Amino acid sequence: MSAVQLRWRDGRLFDVTDSRGSTIIAGGTPDQDRGVKPSDLVPMGLAACVAYTFIGILQKQRQDVRAMEATVEIGQQPDPPWRFTSLHLHFVLTGEINETLARKALVRAEEGYCSVSASLRPTVRLTYDFEVRTPA
């Protein structure tokens, strides 16, 4: 079993360390200019989890991926505790990429290998798509 650690810095800021020892600052208030918004960690984790496997599959397929970006659109309930209702991932791939292979790779990554999406899927509507841009 792995574990993450949280250590209070000051005010409403925390150091959060993952199971590999990497640390980010989380918390803060709207008037502070640092600290990841805690509720954004879930969509960030989803994007990173899917992207990690998605890029790995594309590389194994020998696709010429030169860049990857993702945006997550977040749907939440309007009242506390502001539960997530939907998360939509949009990937932008740049390179010489077969769209059919990329579509299959994205489905496999999101539905078959991402622990974050598997955990969220029972209660949050997850959708995803991608576009391919040709390098300039």
Task: Read off the pTM.
Answer: 0.93
Angle (CA) 126-132-136 rounded to 5° is 150
pLDDT tens digit at each of 136 positions of the chain: 899 999 999 889 999 999 999 999 999 887 877 899 999 999 999 999 999 999 999 999 999 999 999 999 999 999 999 999 999 999 999 999 999 999 999 999 999 999 999 999 999 999 999 999 998 8
Residue spans per domain, the chain: 5-36, 39-133
Distance of CA 88 to the CA centre of its chain: 10
- CATH homologous superfamily of 39-133 equals K homology (KH) domain (3.30.300.20)
Q: How many Å apart are CA 123 and CA 130, to the nearest integer?
A: 23
